[in-house]
């Protein structure tokens, strides 16, 4: 009888414990918040999102980068000190391809460097460097790093053993992992190519795919495949590291595989390679391996988020491969379904996606198809791995979503920031816009933290009547905001839009880029006033063509002046920033380039990001 009572108590305890676990899972569900209504990224250029806070306590910000289907490269910046959010137009009229998302590097002087490139068809990287520490709202001019070879997926690093340089890794020479050493940008943002570009390995397949992570001191770890899993089977998964002090490629135990720049380590998905270089092989499946991320734990042991794809590409299995110190241990996480997107005839190896928490490498986030009230939709699920490699906990973070949640990414170096998880949400038809699939990537960027601010569009409103004399009167206050929804004369797409005796805002005849003038101070925008919608009428290609920009027939233009700074917003995105000693203009005139004023509002205060976005909604 006592044994039966004991058994009953144990069973009751287990039941209660399970109930508590289920309750805990429900509490850990993530509330999705929109970061950007239009945005996407690929998963081989990082960091796509990064957090930076300094010891002085003056900077505490997160930066999230993406590209939209109109070819706008954009980024959102959130300041946790001021609680202010801004969305920045880094570059307009770019190749509308999700491989071109920007990546970030925090420089030693705390300026932010932003990299981007076209998908494989130009021998250069573009970059911009912030004019001020920890603030991408005011970026310097667009500059180039000439590479002589094709460029995709920039991944930059600064290591403490070599603080005078940064290292840039990408898919470059012969479509293989490539590295270059460059000088830290000077005050004008200029860099010098010090060493490279240099191909790191040579595979028997045509396109190895690599992910990188550094220990911050002297090593850059590189996990990579034999090739693209579509045509390559078997497709092995490897891991090496680059010793930047000696510029040597080594396996996980420090065995030298090659001197970078002098010789190429030859990689093959064969039993002979496995026997010779066993410590360099993470997985030697006879199927199609691909990878999503590599991180390091506190012991500098790598962990790799990988997917194993069936021979017919219809089934994708998620695994976590962890180096234990003596061997690679694989943990099966979940079946990820097949390809996640809506086009059945392309990219059948595109999984929903995986991400590892770099601060808690035993936590892996996966995009998994789940049956819900809207049918089968990809949801985000977190898997927690214990010390033995077993799954100890599973949390479904999103639930009953209308559209797919895919390509999760954990904000790098987030410290104690509450903004942790970002991802894409929406419909996805192709990685590039073309006349075959003009919808391209109709996705938004979501996060687990609310970046929006309060909206009070009646507060401080001093004028919103219809314009009769094409003159906008400005309030007599230390700060103001002017919103204009205007139709433009695309037949005469140059000249002034707004003028006064001291101030002018217009469109350059030579470049089609906006300019600002106040007294003798003149500044030109980096961005053409137009988009890349011409790609919607062109053949699907990465052939290096720059199609003519599509002129805007109308724009939502916002001017905000506060604390000696004038900021212009194009369709809700920061375009230009000008520092001024004074502002004495009392009214501005609307010029002939503006055919019609559809709406206008004048405020005696500074509008916040959410208010400007609200006014700029189409």
Residue range 191-239, pLDDT digits in tens:
999 999 999 999 999 999 999 999 999 999 999 999 999 999 999 999 9
Contact (CB, 8 A) for 502 and 584: yes
CA distance 342 to 352: 12
Question: pLDDT, tens digit, for every residue of 136-161?
Answer: 999 999 999 999 999 999 999 999 99
What is residue 424's predicted lDDT score, i.e. its pLDDT?
98
- Asked whether residue 24 carries a pLDDT value surpassing 80, the answer given is no
| Residue range 82-101, pLDDT digits in tens | 999 999 999 999 999 999 99
Calculate ∠ Cα 241-322-104, nearest 5°: 55
pLDDT at 26 > cutoff 70: no
pLDDT tens column, 275-299: 999 999 999 999 999 999 999 999 9
Closest alpha carbon to 171 in 140, 221, 207 = 207
Residue % of the chain over a pLDDT of 70? 95
Q: Is the pLDDT of residue 14 over 60?
A: no
For the segment 309-328, what is each residue's pLDDT rounded down to a tens digit?
A: 999 999 999 999 999 999 99
Question: Would you say residue 468 has pLDDT above 80?
Answer: no
Is 90 exceeded by the pLDDT of residue 6? Answer: no
Backbone angles phi, psi at 609, to 5 degrees: -55, -45
Residue with tokens 């980096």: 526
Cβ neighbors of 315 (< 8 A, separation 6 or more) are 309, 335, 337, 338
Among the listed residues 309, 277, 279, the one whose alpha carbon sits nearest the alpha carbon of residue 291: 309
CA distances from 123 to 50, 149, 170, 541 (A): 26, 5, 12, 17
Query: 């996060």: which residue's tokens?
Result: 447
Cβ atoms 15, 7 nearer than 8 A = no
Distance CA 74, CA 52 (A): 18
Rounded distance between C-alpha atoms, residue 259 and residue 256, angstroms? 8
Residue 301: φ, ψ to 5°: -90, 125
With bands split at pLDDT 50, 70 and 90, how would you rate the model's confidence at 13? very low
What's the pLDDT score for residue 28? 66
3-state secondary structure of 367: strand
**Position 131 confidence tier, pLDDT thresholds 50, 70, 90:** very high
Per-residue pLDDT tens digits for 254-274 = 999 999 999 999 999 999 999
Phi-psi region at 564: left, alpha or beta (left = phi > 0; alpha = psi -120 to 50): left
Give the pLDDT band (50/70/90) at residue 16: very low
Q: What CATH number is given for 461-616 in this structure?
A: 2.60.120.200
pLDDT in tens, 361-382: 999 999 999 999 999 999 999 9
Q: Which pLDDT value is given to residue 618?
A: 73
What is residue 440's DSSP assignment? Answer: -
pLDDT at 324: 97
Give the mean model confidence (pLDDT) for residues 121-150: 97
**Rounded mean pLDDT of the chain?**
94
What is the SS3 string spanning 454-507?
A: CCCCCCCEEECCCCCCCEEECCCCCCEEEEEEEEECHHHCCEEEEECCCEEEEE
Q: Which fold has domain 289-400?
A: Lipocalin (2.40.128)
pLDDT at position 394 over 80: yes
| Residue 65 to residue 69: CA distance in whole angstroms | 14
Strand partners of residue 562: 565
Percentage of the chain modeled with pLDDT above 90: 94
Alpha-carbon distance of 13 to 7, in angstroms, equals 10
Check if the beta carbon of residue 421 is closer than 8 Å to that of residue 398. Answer: no
pLDDT at residue number 29:
82
pLDDT at 467: 73
Start-to-end Cα distance in the chain = 74
pLDDT higher than 70, residue 27: no
Please compute, for residue 59, the number of CA atoms within 13 A of its CA located in the half-sphere on the CB side: 19
pLDDT of residue 15: 36
Domain chopping of the chain, boundaries: 33-146+411-452, 160-227+236-284, 289-400, 461-616
Whether 114 contacts 102, CB under 8 Å: yes
* pLDDT tens-digit series, residues 474-525: 999 999 999 999 999 999 999 999 999 999 999 999 999 999 999 999 999 9
Give the pLDDT confidence score for residue 2 in this predicted structure.
Answer: 45
């Amino acid at each position: 009888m006592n044994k039966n009572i004991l058994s009953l108590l144990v069973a009751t305890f287990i039941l209660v414990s399970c109930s508590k676990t289920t309750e805990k899972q429900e509490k850990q569900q993530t509330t999705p918040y929109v970061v950007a209504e239009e945005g996407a990224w690929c998963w081989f250029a990082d960091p796509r999102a990064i957090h930076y806070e300094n010891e002085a306590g003056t900077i505490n910000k997160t930066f999230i980068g993406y590209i939209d289907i109109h070819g706008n490269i954009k980024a959102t910046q959130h300041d946790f000190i001021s609680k202010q959010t801004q969305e920045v137009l880094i570059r307009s009229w770019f190749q509308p391809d999700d491989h071109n998302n920007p990546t970030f590097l925090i420089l030693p002087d705390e300026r932010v460097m932003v990299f981007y490139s076209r998908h494989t068809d130009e021998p250069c990287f573009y970059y911009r460097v912030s004019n001020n520490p920890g603030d991408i709202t005011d970026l310097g001019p667009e500059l180039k790093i000439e590479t002589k070879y094709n460029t995709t997926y920039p991944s930059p690093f600064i290591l403490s053993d070599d603080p005078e340089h940064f290292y840039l890794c990408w898919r470059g020479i012969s479509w293989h992992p490539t590295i270059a050493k460059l000088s830290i940008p000077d005050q004008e943002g200029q860099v010098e190519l010090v060493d490279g570009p240099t191909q790191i390995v040579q595979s028997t397949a045509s396109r190895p795919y690599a992910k990188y992570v550094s220990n911050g001191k002297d090593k850059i770890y590189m996990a990579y495949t034999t090739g693209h899993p579509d045509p390559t089977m078997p497709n092995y998964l490897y891991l090496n590291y680059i010793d930047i002090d000696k510029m040597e490629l080594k396996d996980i135990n420090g065995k030298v595989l090659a001197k970078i720049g002098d010789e190429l380590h030859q990689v093959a998905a064969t039993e002979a390679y496995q026997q010779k270089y066993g410590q360099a092989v993470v997985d030697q499946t006879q199927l199609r391996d691909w990878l999503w991320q590599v991180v390091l734990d506190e012991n500098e042991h790598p962990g790799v988020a990988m997917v194993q794809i069936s021979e017919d590409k219809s089934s994708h299995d998620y695994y976590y491969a962890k180096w234990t110190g003596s061997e690679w241990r694989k943990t099966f996480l979940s079946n990820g379904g097949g390809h996640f997107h809506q086009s059945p005839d392309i990219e059948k190896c595109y999984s929903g996606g995986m991400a590892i928490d770099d601060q808690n490498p035993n936590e892996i986030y996966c995009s998994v198809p789940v049956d819900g009230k809207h049918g089968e939709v990809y949801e985000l699920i977190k898997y927690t791995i214990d010390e033995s490699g077993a799954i100890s906990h599973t949390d479904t973070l999103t639930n009953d979503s209308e559209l797919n949640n895919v390509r999760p990414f954990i904000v790098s170096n987030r410290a104690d920031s509450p903004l942790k998880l970002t991802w894409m949400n929406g419909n996805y038809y192709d990685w590039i816009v073309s006349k075959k699939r003009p919808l391209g990537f109709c996705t938004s960027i979501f996060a687990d933290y609310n970046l929006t601010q309060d909206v009070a569009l009646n507060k401080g409103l001093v004028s919103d009547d219809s314009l009769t004399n094409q003159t906008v009167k400005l309030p007599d206050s230390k700060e103001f905001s002017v919103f204009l929804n205007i139709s433009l004369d695309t037949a005469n797409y140059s000249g002034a839009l707004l003028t006064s005796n001291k101030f002018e805002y217009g469109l350059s005849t030579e470049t089609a880029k906006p300019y600002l003038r106040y007294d003798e101070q003149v500044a030109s925008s980096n961005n053409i006033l137009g988009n890349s919608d011409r790609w919607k009428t062109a053949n699907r290609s990465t052939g290096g063509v720059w199609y003519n920009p599509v002129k805007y027939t109308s724009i939502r233009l916002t001017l905000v002046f506060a604390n000696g700074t004038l900021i212009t917003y194009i369709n809700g995105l920061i375009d230009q920033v000008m520092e001024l000693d004074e502002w004495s203009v009392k009214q501005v005139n609307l010029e002939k380039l503006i055919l019609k004023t559809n709406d206008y509002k004048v405020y005696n205060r500074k509008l916040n990001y959410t208010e400007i976005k609200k006014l700029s909604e189409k």
